Structure 1
Amino acid sequence: MMTGRLHPYLPELTIRDYNTYLRYRRGVKYQLYLEYGLFAFSLLRCKGAGAALALLSDSLAGRQATCQEIRLPGSLERVPVMCQTRGIRLAAQIEVLMSWHRLQDRRPAELPLRLKVQRLIQRMALYRAYRKAVQEEPALERIFYQQRAQAVAQHQLRGQNYAVASEPMSNVYGALFSVLAPDDAVQRKNMRYIGSCIGKAFYLLDKAARHHLDQKEDRYNVFLANGLSGEAAKENARRQAIAAINDLSRVYTLMDVKLNRTLLDNIMVLGLRDTVDPLEHGSWDLNWELPS
């Protein structure tokens, strides 16, 4: 699950929006520490997706976050942090749940011994935080399990249909994004559609990137099922992902964003398009780390 790809396009980000984004990102990290403890804070990388989710939730509802000077664990310096809005709490819960289920993505038998031990330690460290997040958002956890069962069934069938193969992740993202929307039927429907498009795009990009490894390990991959080479899979995934991002962009422009519009436009339009098809043709490093 690649929520790390939900990030702003930095070359077009204003200083003001850049600072808002950083403060929200620190806010989600600090919320992880407050709600789920030091293990969750240390284990979860929170590279940016959590900030985008928190921003979406608070900005759609018109909730103005409070900024405070806080010393984050492991740092001697006090930094400005957005604090404890509903959007930030939801984003922290989603980070925990998605990280837990990311640990289940590969069966232990498929991993080398070093990674088996590492995965076991991570699961033990995250388990208490995961159980707490499940109690807080049981509906989200049901979605994860339902779609995981559907994904397993599809992998066994080894189908060739791209829409069917991407449906479990599309449904998960649709559910996550609908939770972020305010209590309004139209907003929730639109957010579910936006999340579904993102889930489809990320699934296809993931599978194209894993083409060689899945082929080597004889794992199901929809591109392999269609007989595509690695390069053809990447080009196919790029075309389908661009179409999905274009679809969600049309719906996103209809959303009533009450706060941080320019920042969210950057993330949801430029950032997503740059993820799928780099706007500077590879000259921008998507793995570049924002400071904490």
Structure 2
Amino acid sequence: MTEAKLGHLPKPKNSAGRNLPAAIGVSALLGGLVLLAVWIGPVGWYPLVAAAVAVATWEVVMRLREHSYFIPRLPMLLLGQLMVWLSWPFGTTGLVAAYVTAVLFMMFGRLFYHGRSTPPQNYLRDTAVAIFVLTWIPLFASFAAMLSLIASAEGVWGGVYIVTFMLCVVASDTGGYIAGVMFGSRPMAPAVSPKKSWEGFAGSVIGGVVTGALTVSLLVGEAWWIGALMGLGLVVCATLGDLVESQFKRELGIKDMSALLPGHGGLMDRLDGMLPSAMVTWLVLSIVGG
């Protein structure tokens, strides 16, 4: 291609801000694991989600403990696993029961951390943050796990619902990334995340809505507008989830949750937007599937 032709291509307004070769390689590996788990079914999907919950919870709890928050590591990991696994045989009933148990444990256990004769320190702060983490990671992730359990009256393979969710997430991330790098100039919330732009959000909306409409109509066999609404809800929740994690890291003064994934940061840095959007996707697809 000649220089004259290249001159007509728009130049990116922003840098990518990551090691792209490493990020692409890690993404391909994670994508392969997801596809394998989807193909196996709930027996493969649930362990993958449970492992992701354990790693993400560990990352977040360790960062909090490094900044003087008292968050019990082992109870958080075990209670998070309880929430995920009870959602398999008992659905939302098991999930809610496990979540309430986890909340009660944090509320009561923190009272007596220093014994019965010494008043607890920072009780409200630490209890609230622990409940926030339990909601943010295992509760939302359980909805992603339950996508594999949706039973369709039309005989649609259960893995289709997970594929629909993942394709919408990828399309949203890709559309937002490309539009943000190429055209981003108007920050959405500069006080929280200066790099997140309205142009990037528009790219996410286009990617999520179009992919949602196509996947729900072609794979699930329902009206395209249902998929478009689902895609829009997914994008809004994913964007707000990104902003939540940005503010979380800003308050702790950290860049990434960990260095586990080259080119990405920590696992939680990849799941931040996916977790809340899983709830919206499960709600729409479970109604459609049922």
TM-score over 0.5 for the pair:
no
Bigger radius of gyration: 2
The TM-score, its normalising length taken from structure 2, stands at 0.34
